[in-house]
Structure 1
Amino acid sequence: MEITVEITASLIDQVFTAQKKQSLIMRQSTANQRIALLNKLMNWIKSNMEDINRAIHADFKKPYPEISITEIYPVTSEIKHAIKHLDAWMRPKKVHTPITMLGSESYIHYEPKGTCLIIAPWNYPFGLALGPLVSALAAGCTAIIKPSEMTPHTSALVRRLVEETFDRSQVAVFEGDVDVAQKLLAKPFDHIFFTGSPSVGKIIMKAAAEHLSSVTLELGGKSPVIIDSKTDIKDAAEKIIATKLLNCGQTCVAPDYILVHAAVKEALLHELKENIQKMYDPKNKGVEKSKDYTRIVNGKHLKRIKHLLSDAEMKGAQIYWGGYVNEEDNFFEPTILSGLSEEMDIMHEEIFGPVLPVITYADLEEAINYINLKPKPLALYVFSKDNEMIKRVIRETTSGATVANDCALHFLQNELPFGGVNNSGVGKAHGHFGFLAFSNEKAVMKQRIGLTAVKPIYPPYGIKSKKIIESLLKWF
């Protein structure tokens, strides 16, 4: 075992050194050269769709259509978006020259940060490993990917993809557990992109601080849903169930809990139950027999969610629907809870599973205050026909994103920045924002030779220069 660890550490050293050298070459790369790498990635994905489906299904029993929507499409759309816009993103951006700098010109030059580390999570092990890679390649960086050991089939597939597509001096994959992650984090990467929990995000940030590496941390948290009395309840319930139960609730932007106006609570509970049955049990044979319902990733996480549910029940929560668990198959039935209180663990921990607490409120201020007393969420969803109410929620709450009358769709909108705030994340990703995350926005200024606007205020400070400085302070 010790020999394996030593070999791994040595190999990490070799690859890291090779990527540092290659990053100096890639710094000079053109848009066409970067697009060629992105096209190689796209071609591998298109040629190996069945293998991708099989690997992810082996880890989750995830249905193939869901794999296409949530794992493959986000990557391919990200590639297409980057290819379309990369030339414009790379172009130096000229900025305004103030009158006090007359004669000079200034612009922003986008250069790759260098060698980057991408630590991917287990919940979307394909999409969240390769999505950041698209941004890294678009920015001209080299990258090492550390996939999750909790999804071994997909992890092996990602390694195969990279080995068959790139030279390891450009992109490499290191599989393994925490020990491998720690060895990678000991290296002075130019940027670290991590997707996972806030608790692990803090560990990543501490490791990055040792080398002053910049970070993008896509974390999570408890993303709330607000439903007011003027909501189309049927429409809201359908959208909430579709996104909550996607990947069996193991989604960072899944609705975590609902704050519903007391006047429409019963109607909402009914519609939530109806939509579970419509989507996952239309023939009334039980959700467990549905081919469209994913499983929890492993027994450890199933037991964690089961504990949250039992703790809530013990402290007074009522199961409105669901609650059945089959540990042998990692099956956790969609579950709707009511009668919640702040003493329950489920109201403080991110659920990351198919349990949906429903809490009532009397007026909007109460709901807003409830959200603002908790850590800032990755996403916030608000359902209402009242545009003023929606504007108030946007204005008076803080979150990585706010979506009105739907859930989670913003993740697929490449023109929007994706990321959290404070506890739910640091930095933004996707599209141009992903390109910027892996780029250094270098300030460049060119001054004319000879007389300049600032030379008249050089020392010694005589009467004339003092008057010029006074004018600067007064008028500019």
Structure 2
Amino acid sequence: MDPASPIGNSLPSQLAHLQQLAALQPPDYATRRQWLAGLASIVTEHQQDWIDAVQADFGCRSAVETRLAELFPALEGIRLAQRKLAGWMRPQRRGVSFWFWPATARVLPQPLGVAGIIVPWNYPVFLALGPLTSALAAGNRAMVKMSELSPHSGALLQRLCRQYLGDDVVQVVNGDVAVAQAFAALPFDHLLFTGSTRVGRSVMQAAAANLTPVTLELGGKSPALIAPGFDMRRVVGSLVAGKMLNAGQTCVAPDYVLVHQDDREALLAELRRQAALAYPDPAANPDYTAIINQAHFDRLQRWRDEAAQLGARVEVLAAGSSEAALNAARKLPLTLIENAPAHSAVMREEIFGPLLPIISYDKLGNALAYINAHDRPLALYLYDDKRRRIGKVLQGTIAGGVSVNDTLMHVVQDQLPFGGVGPSGMGHYHGYEGFATFSKMKPVFYQSRFAGAVLTQPPHGKLVQWLLNLMLGRIK
């Protein structure tokens, strides 16, 4: 979309309109419940519409994946908010220091105003409706910028939000990179961005001009660490599912695997077997998703070929599909990469596709040192049954979130906060943490008519000195 288009030019006026509404009395419980019910209808009454829209955006997107990884978690988040909203909105009692008794204190959750949400292309439904659920539950209006790489999903969300919520509650913006840049520069009361670390830096810089607080859900290289001697059959089912879901185009997909050197061959054999079982003939398989566009497809092939040229062992698990058929369908099978040098792109950059580097280690401590020598990951996956060793890994690493003996599953637990750390993001949402992120948790102090604070008011005499000696101790 041309940034000079009517939609591009109307961004400030759209925001100003929502700000005027947000300045009125904050929406009550019934109104927020109505908004959440509208979000639920957007999911439940239009499942096939979403399947068709996402399919059109990707060229081939598994209908099962759209329902399982987008519609279901989005609806679960809405349902949780509907169940918990009354409790979230209730003022929270807080303690008061002994010296201020009998005063009382509370925290009063209030909406911030208007939230901005920037949505990536890889999960256009879940990553739009998830943040939107948090924002609306907290009583905010919202503007949502959809990715230019998912125009069909963006157009559908725009139509459905207008139908079920109205432009006075949510306005959906579609457009190109220039529109996204203009959107990030608007003076929102809070801005949530999901996307790459590189773009996240630009978004944060744009928001800083308005002192807009940001939540950044980024990515990075999320490791899967397999403890020595762990049963590979238990590992690989979830590893294949987590890496090949959406063809690896997932911010929390396992980016590389750390395996003990004595277990490497067993891992490789099981990966070959289970990848073929999960997605036979990936070129023609409707359950295996295509890479979003030719540019990303070419990038992944370029990174794969670069690793091979630098001496890595590359194995493409095509499972019966010819290279010509894969290229025509813009599909990339699970590709194992061993011994890739540290300076290769697959070892430096977030892969965002079904390339899987395998790294062998000799001691678990060395594997942990490798993880800690790199940027904090958005997710860490640990395969182990020994409680003491699990505790050592959890205490000895820092990551946005962890799943033990599985992949991805911590993200869809709505009562767990979701967010990164350092280059993988800042801030949290989902469940109560999302409600709190989009709320001003306003502290309120209630003074008692019997307050002792009057004793400290000027003019200061001997009584104040006596009290200070009691509170602090005598000056030595």
Corresponding residue for residue 258 of structure 2: 259
3-state SS of paired residue (1:176): coil
CA distance in 1, matches of 2:317, 2:43: 37
- The structural deviation recorded for 1:6 is 5.5
Aligned partner letter, 2:368:
I
CA distance in 2, matches of 1:460, 1:143: 51
Aligned partner letter, 1:313:
A
Deviations for 1:177-211, whole angstroms, at most 9, x for unmatched residues?
11111222232110101100011111111111111
Tell me if structure 1 keeps the 8 A contact 2:42–2:161.
Answer: no
Tell me if structure 2 keeps the 8 A contact 1:457–1:469.
Answer: no
Listed as ranges, the matches of 1:169-180 within 5 Å are: 169-180=168-179
Listed as ranges, the matches of 1:211-222 within 5 Å are: 211-222=210-221
CA distance in 2, matches of 1:226, 1:187: 41
Q: Does 2:184 correspond to 1:189? A: no
TM-score, with length taken from structure 2? 0.95
Tell me if structure 2 keeps the 8 A contact 1:132–1:434.
Answer: yes
CA distance in 2, matches of 1:269, 1:191: 45
**When the two structures are aligned, how many residues end up with a matched partner?**
468
Tell me if structure 2 keeps the 8 A contact 1:222–1:257.
Answer: yes
Structure 1 stretches lacking a partner, 5+ long: none
Corresponding residue for residue 423 of structure 1: 423
Q: Does 2:284 correspond to 1:289? A: yes
TM-score, with length taken from structure 1? 0.95
Tell me if structure 2 keeps the 8 A contact 1:120–1:147.
Answer: yes
Corresponding residue for residue 398 of structure 1: 398
CA distance in 1, matches of 2:283, 2:5: 45
Aligned partner letter, 2:330:
N
Corresponding residue for residue 96 of structure 1: 95
Corresponding residue for residue 455 of structure 1: 454
Identity of aligned residues (%): 37
Corresponding residue for residue 334 of structure 1: 334
Deviations for 1:358-410, whole angstroms, at most 9, x for unmatched residues?
10001111001100110100000110121111111100100001111111101
Tell me if structure 1 keeps the 8 A contact 2:224–2:257.
Answer: yes
Corresponding residue for residue 438 of structure 1: 438
- The structural deviation recorded for 1:22 is 1.2
CA distance in 1, matches of 2:29, 2:36: 10
Tell me if structure 2 keeps the 8 A contact 1:15–1:169.
Answer: no
CA distance in 2, matches of 1:430, 1:369: 31
3-state SS of paired residue (1:420): coil
Tell me if structure 2 keeps the 8 A contact 1:232–1:385.
Answer: no
Listed as ranges, the matches of 1:248-327 within 5 Å are: 248-281=247-280, 286-322=281-317, 324=323, 326-327=326-327
Corresponding residue for residue 468 of structure 2: 469
CA distance in 2, matches of 1:5, 1:116: 24
Tell me if structure 1 keeps the 8 A contact 2:26–2:111.
Answer: no
Corresponding residue for residue 139 of structure 2: 140
Q: CA RMSD in A?
A: 1.6
CA distance in 2, matches of 1:127, 1:236: 26
Range that drifts further, 57-66 or 377-386: 57-66
Corresponding residue for residue 241 of structure 2: 242
Structure 2 stretches lacking a partner, 5+ long: none
CA distance in 2, matches of 1:431, 1:417: 7
Corresponding residue for residue 112 of structure 1: 111
Corresponding residue for residue 59 of structure 1: 57
CA distance in 1, matches of 2:357, 2:86: 46
3-state SS of paired residue (1:252): coil
